[in-house]
Amino acid sequence: MKPLRMALTKGRLEKDTVALLERIGYDCEAVHNKGRKLILPVGDRLEVVLAKAADVITYVEHGVCDLGVVGKDTIMENGTSFYEVLDLGFGRCKFALAAPKGSDFFGGYASRTIATKYPNVARNYFESKAMDIRFIKIEGSVELAPLLGLSDAIVDIVETGTTLKENGLEVVETICDISARLIVNTASLKLRKAEIEELVAQMEQAKKQA
Ligand SMILES: Nc1ncnc2c1ncn2[C@@H]1O[C@H](COP(=O)(O)OP(=O)(O)OP(=O)(O)O)[C@@H](O)[C@H]1O
Ligand SMILES: O=P(O)(O)OC[C@H]1O[C@H](OP(=O)(O)OP(=O)(O)O)[C@H](O)[C@@H]1O
C-alpha cells in the first residue's frame, strides 16, 4: 500500500511537527537532511510534503495530500473543506486587533482602516460590530501600516507581544487563540479510515508526552 501523504507547514510549525512524529517512532532523518527536496519519506508508511501554510490547505482540499498540519489562522482565513481532527497544542499565538498605544480605536464615528494579512478573519471579526471599516491586504510586517499612516489599526498574529511593543502598538482586543491543527482530506478519511485513525490516535498520544 502507498504511504499516507502529509503536507506540513514549512517554518515555525515544522520543528514541533517533526518532534511529534519522532515521539511516535517515525524516522525523520530525511526531513532533517532534506536539502532542497520537498517530498520526504518518513518511515515506509508516511511521506511528508513541505509547503507554505495556505498551500497545505490547497493540497489537502484537492486530495493530493491525505493529511496536513497547519495553523488555525490559515484555516480561518482560507477554508474548511476538510476535517479538522486534532489540536496539536503547539504553534500557540493569538489573533488580535492592535493599534498605536493610547489611540482610541473604538471612539467616535469616523470610518476606520484596518491593515491585515488575514482579510477574511478581519471582516468576520468586524461584522458584528456595525462599524464602517475599510480593509487593506498586507503580505508581511503588518505592524508597519499604522506606523506609516496607511491604517488606523491591524488585525494580526501576536505571540510574545514584542513586535507590537517595539513599534509603539498595543492590543485593543484579542480575537481568538490559535494553535496548529491536524487536518484530513474528506475522501481519504473514508478510503483509508483505519490507517488515518491509527495515526491520529498516535499523534494525540504523542502530544500528551510533549
Ligand atoms: N509569532 C508568530 N507569528 C506568525 N505565526 C506564528 C507565530 N507563532 C506561531 N505561528 C503559527 O505558525 C504558522 C506559520 O508561520 P510562519 O511565520 O512560519 O509562516 P507564514 O506566516 O505562513 O509565512 P511566511 O513563510 O511568509 O513567513 C502561522 O500560520 C501560525 O499558525
Ligand atoms: O508577538 P511576537 O512574538 O512579536 O510575534 C508576532 C509577529 O510575528 C509574525 O510575523 P513574522 O515574524 O511571521 O513576519 P511577517 O510579519 O513578515 O509574516 C506576526 O505577523 C507578528 O508580526
What does the pLDDT read at residue 153?
A: 98
Residue 30 to residue 24: CA distance in whole angstroms:
16
Query: What is the homologous superfamily of the domain 97-177 according to CATH?
Result: Periplasmic binding protein-like II (3.40.190.10)
Q: Which grid coordinates belong to 33?
A: 537532511
Query: Is 54's C-beta closer than 6 angstroms to any atom of ligand 1?
Result: no
pLDDT tens, residue by residue, 143-177 = 999 999 999 999 999 999 999 999 999 999 999 99
pLDDT tens, residue by residue, 104-147 = 999 988 999 999 999 999 999 999 888 989 999 999 999 999 99
What does the pLDDT read at residue 1?
A: 84
Angstrom distances, CA of residue 204 to CA of 25, 39, 67, 131, 184: 14, 24, 14, 41, 14
Query: Is 94's C-beta closer than 6 angstroms to any atom of ligand 1?
Result: no
3-class secondary-structure state, position 198: helix
Contact 60, 135 (CB under 8 A): no
Identify the CA nearest to 68 among candidates 2, 17, 12, 1: 17
Contact 178, 163 (CB under 8 A): no
Please say if the pLDDT value at position 210 is more than 90.
no
What does the pLDDT read at residue 65?
A: 98
Torsion of CA 90, 96, 101, 106, to 10 degrees: -160
Residue 53 to residue 9: CA distance in whole angstroms:
5
Residue 108 to residue 105: CA distance in whole angstroms:
8
Ligand 2 pocket: which of 141, 160, 175 to mutate (most atoms <8 Å of CB)?
A: 141
Identify the CA nearest to 129 among candidates 114, 142, 148: 114
Q: Tell me the CA–centroid distance for residue 174 and ligand 1, in Å.
A: 17
- Give the closest ligand to the alpha carbon of residue 115: 2
Query: Is 160's C-beta closer than 6 angstroms to any atom of ligand 2?
Result: yes
pLDDT tens, residue by residue, 12-64 = 999 999 999 999 999 999 999 999 999 999 988 999 999 999 999 999 999 99
Ligand 1 atom closest to residue 158's alpha carbon, by position in its atom list:
1
Q: Tell me the CA–centroid distance for residue 169 and ligand 2, in Å.
A: 13
Query: Is 161's C-beta closer than 6 angstroms to any atom of ligand 2?
Result: yes
**Yes or no: is domain 4-91+179-208 CATH 3.30.70.580?**
no
Query: Is 156's C-beta closer than 6 angstroms to any atom of ligand 2?
Result: yes
* Residue written as grid cell 498605544: 101
Q: Which grid coordinates belong to 147?
A: 506606523
Confidence at 66, pLDDT banded by 50, 70, 90: very high
The stretch 62-79 carries a mean pLDDT of: 97
Query: What is the location of CATH 3.40.190.10 in the chain?
Result: 4-91+179-208, 97-177
